[in-house]
Amino acid sequence: MRVEINDLDKNHAARRNWVWASLGLSPLAMALQHLVTLAKETERVLTGTTVTEIATAYTRWGWKADAAVIDALASIERASAEERKAVNGVIADLYSTWLEKEEEIMQKAVGADSPTKTYPVEQLAEPANGICILFCDGLRYDVGQRLVKALETQEFICNVESRLAALPTITPTAKPAVSPIASQLSGNVSPGLELIITMSGAKATIEAFRKLLEQNGYQVLKNDELGDLSSKAWTEMGAIDSNGHSDGWKLTYRLKDEIDALKRRIEALLAWGWKQVVVVTDHGWLLFPESLPKADLPEHLTYLRKGRCAQLKETSHTEQQTVPWYWNSNVSIAFAPNICCYEAGKEYEHGGLSPQECVVPMITVSKRKAVQPISIENVTWRGLRCTMNIVGPLEDMKVDIRSKAGNPKTSLISAPKPPNADGTMSVLIEDEDRMGEAACIVVLTNDGMVRIQTLTTIGG
């Protein structure tokens, strides 16, 4: 299959430059480039005996296979039913075995000991004033990388970290766990995986959750609100998860719009004056166009059943993998084996133990510092001595005169020197034979980067 995909791409890659491709009329040619990437990335499997090792491999390269699937599926939005079937079939052949192996090593690593040891979930650090936390439901690691790419083409700096989602990887469990008030919540033993506010014992409804945020000094920003910069804020947006549940693999057609909306919201918050926007999420997901296989778990054993996890009754026993609920160790959660679901026909689902569901991004976004301009003015020669004025920020700057601006080995003075406090300076060319030669005056940063240069003739 991999050889055939590469051969097809060699024969049809040129079609991506044809006018038909720009009109969206060459979906198979467009999909091929992503299927080539998928074939390459799925030749190897994630390795590691611990969750940390597996997560490291996944964040280094494993997510690229998931991204290739998204790109290939997004390419066939305007394809015929037959063309979609062909692409979906190739994805199923290349992706299913790779996914299954990933899930197996992840499940084995979690089950090697107590999950409190094998699967450490860290709570969010307390942010400083001037920081806004943006929660986006279902921002899988590869989709987070798309957001980073979109932001870094602008004037923003992104720092990406990975963290583990709370188990099971469903929103009611994992969203509160990534909030800044997680330490004030706990889990009820009663059926339904309900959270309570520890101090009061009241149910942690959406309204109570937001009120608790406000009581702890967080503004809760709704819709396009921008807030007060003197404190901290929490805001939510995004429909990735709801679109996945409703649209299945066709979620891929809508991801670009979701990324664009997130980017605009972050831009608006930073433009308003927030020092940083920290993007967090609750869980990732599995996406498979031919539908994920079904696993059986009798309903009489469970209180609650989701797509890839279930809350077991106290007296129930199953051979399927179980772990304690993140919020209450007395509650047992069963996980569907491998990439299976407890419901048939699911193309999109989460709640289980896989790198795609468990390893999620945390993206800290800030504005790049404006680079103040520097200029070289009033260049005057008196024989071999050159005087000038450097206008702009002078800290950590030095001036050199070189035959070639980018080559420090062509310096014509004894050593680069900093300008005086008022920006004036004087340098001497020691080799009289250089009189009349062309040269470059360069202003350098401490690490040797050329900030600005100007041509001159030695001696004037």
Range picked from 13-17, 26-30, 164-168 for highest mean pLDDT: 164-168
Instruction: Please give the sequence-ordered ranges of beta strands (E in DSSP) within 17-154, or none if there are none.
Output: 131-135
Please count the CA atoms within 13 angstroms of the CA of 386 that sit on its side-chain side. Answer: 31
Residue 52 has pLDDT above 90, yes or no: yes
Contact assessment for residue 214 and residue 233, using Cβ atoms and an 8 Å cutoff: no
Output the pTM of the full model. 0.80
With cut-offs at 50, 70 and 90, classify the pLDDT of residue 372: confident
Residue 286 has pLDDT above 70, yes or no: yes
Please count the CA atoms within 13 angstroms of the CA of 102 that sit on its side-chain side. Answer: 31
Least-confidence region, from 19-33, 197-211, 404-418 = 19-33
For tokens 């932001």, what's the residue? 151
Contact assessment for residue 403 and residue 412, using Cβ atoms and an 8 Å cutoff: yes
Instruction: Let me know if 443 is exposed, middle or buried by CB neighbors in 10 A (0-12, 13-18, 19+).
Output: buried
- pLDDT tens for 316-335 read 999 999 999 999 999 999 99
Question: What pLDDT was estimated at residue 238?
Answer: 94
Cα separation, 249 vs 361, in Å, equals: 21
Write out the two tokens for 289: 């166009």
Question: What pLDDT was estimated at residue 272?
Answer: 95
Cα separation, 268 vs 22, in Å, equals: 32
